[in-house]
Amino acid sequence: MAVRFGTDGIRGVANEELTPEVATAVGRASARVLGGGPFLVGRDTRWSGPLLQAAVSAGLAAEGCDVTDLGVVPTPALAYLSERRHAPAVVISASHNPYADNGIKVFASGGAKLSEAIERAIEAAVAAGPGPRPPTGRSVGRISADPTGAAEYLDHLRGCVGGRRLDGLRLVVDGANGAASALAPGLFSSLGADVVAVACEPDGANINDACGSTSPELLSEAVVAQRADLGLAFDGDADRLVAVDHTGAVADGDVLLALFALDLDARGLLPGDTVVVTVMTNLGFRMAMTGRGITVTETQVGDRHVLAALEAGGLALGGEQSGHIVFRHLATTGDGILSGLLLADLVARRGEPLAGLTEGLVPRVPQVLTKVAVDDPGRLESAGAVWEVVKEVEADLGPNARVLLRASGTEPVVRVMVEAPDEGQAAAAAARLCQAVEADLGPAARATGD
């Protein structure tokens, strides 16, 4: 049996690629690599979640590990509880993917995403299969439910705003019909906000379906219709945030990160006057930060890489355009609900609408983001014909543009990004690159025997 960690865990179509047998094997392997202590497990609201969570838990228990089942909780809640309880954690979630997909995310004790070396060790342990002497009798791990974990996490979030409240603020909260649905509206209400909840009625199949951070149109319409001050949209496992101002305009991760960076800097809470971003961050963000005396450090895609840079530099803030934002002094991973709470707190403290706070903040360099479906994204690295086209496109666009192709770690796609001074140029270049990827790695290439 073979498994492979991507950018954010192991993913696949539930019960087809990500089967109970695979999940059990990953549970066994995680127990052997990370140690025999107790594990925390949780999941989002997907139809296949209980199936795969049971399989992972069985694998952990089969290796002698006690398992605490926290039920449906956001991924950041598992990370927080992992840090607080000094236990590794496993989350069954495919984040922003459609409901038929699922995934396995593993946190080391302390709440940090696994290093690549530990991921490779777990992959090798899965391939090796179970050991020759499995535990028996009282050495077999026990599985027990703990309904208190979510409340513990919410208490932590309330403490992150220093006793301040949100009275007078009207919010629309979009839970993506995911793990935030049962928690986020009540959290904001408990701090005095007038909350309207949308997409907070999960049925197992509607997670991320035309809602949440990847489809903010629903939130925009609701904010305008409800005459709300602010809208907050999470993804399926609530580690992302996208916001909407009172006019219905969307503020993505780049805009929110810039706003948070300036706010922390003004309060003397931005160590090194530095913020960490990934290669996907818009060039306009870099221009905005440089113009205000804030240094920008760049990493690969993935909040694991952002966190590593934060740790290495003793820094406080980093994030991704997608809405993963890491406040290192408060969390060990991207946390959409925490980010939404801190944004609402910022708006309340400043007494100014989000639209006013973000107007002209990040100059937008035209950016085209698209993707091409392929069977094996890993083949991109050796696709010489594609990289020749990349060189040609870069030469045509000139020095004031940027081109990025990367194999997705969460979906079977190659992601294409082009930034250029002119939107038409960017679109044309992106289309040309997509054609090159499709010709070399896509169905047409397979049909001709490539």
Average pLDDT, the chain: 94
Least confident span in 147-151, 277-281, 432-436: 277-281
What are the residue boundaries of the structural domains of the chain, listed by start? 10-151, 160-358, 367-447
Q: Which residues are annotated as catalytic? A: 95
Give the residue-averaged pLDDT of 304-332: 94
Q: What is the pLDDT of residues 164-200, one digit of tens each?
A: 999 999 999 999 999 999 999 999 999 999 999 999 9
User: Is residue 443 very low, low, confident or very high in pLDDT (cuts 50, 70, 90)?
Assistant: low
Q: What is the pLDDT of residues 244-270, one digit of tens each?
A: 999 999 999 999 999 999 999 999 999
User: Is residue 400 very low, low, confident or very high in pLDDT (cuts 50, 70, 90)?
Assistant: confident
Write down the pLDDT at residue 280.
Answer: 85
Write down the pLDDT at residue 158.
Answer: 98
Rounded CA separation 298/295 (Å) = 10
Grouping H, G, I as helix, E, B as strand and the rest as coil, residue 132 is: coil
Give the residue-averaged pLDDT of 354-362: 95
Query: At the topology level of CATH, where does 160-358 sit?
Result: Alpha-D-Glucose-1,6-Bisphosphate; Chain A, domain 3 (3.40.120)
CB-count burial class (<10 Å; 0-12, 13-18, 19+) for 376? exposed
Q: What is the pLDDT of residues 44-98, one digit of tens each?
A: 999 999 999 999 999 999 999 999 999 999 999 999 999 999 999 999 999 999 9
Write down the pLDDT at residue 117.
Answer: 94
205-218 as b/e: b if 16+ CB within 10 A: ebbbbebbbbbbeb
Superfamily assignment of 367-447 in CATH? Alpha-D-phosphohexomutase, C-terminal domain (3.30.310.50)
What is the percentage of the chain residues whose pLDDT exceeds 70? Answer: 98
Contacts of 292 (CB under 8 A, 6+ apart): 262, 265
What is the percentage of the chain residues whose pLDDT exceeds 90? Answer: 84
CA 287 to chain centre: 25
Write down the pLDDT at residue 372.
Answer: 93
Write down the pLDDT at residue 132.
Answer: 77
CB 417 within 8 A of CB 443: no
Write down the pLDDT at residue 444.
Answer: 46
Q: What is the pLDDT of residues 362-387, one digit of tens each?
A: 988 888 999 999 988 889 989 999 99
Give the residue-averaged pLDDT of 417-443: 91
Q: What is the pLDDT of residues 132-161, one digit of tens each?
A: 788 999 999 999 999 999 999 999 999 999
- Identical topology for domains 10-151 and 160-358: yes
Higher pLDDT residue, 283 or 432? 432
CATH class of 10-151: alpha beta
Higher pLDDT residue, 305 or 91? 91
Q: What is the pLDDT of residues 206-230, one digit of tens each?
A: 999 999 999 999 999 999 999 999 9
CB 415 within 8 A of CB 405: yes
Give the residue-averaged pLDDT of 13-24: 97
| Confidence check: pLDDT of 446 > 60 | no
280-311 as b/e: b if 16+ CB within 10 A: bbbbbbbebbeeeebebbebebbbbbbbbbbe
Give the residue-averaged pLDDT of 108-129: 94
Give the residue-averaged pLDDT of 122-128: 96
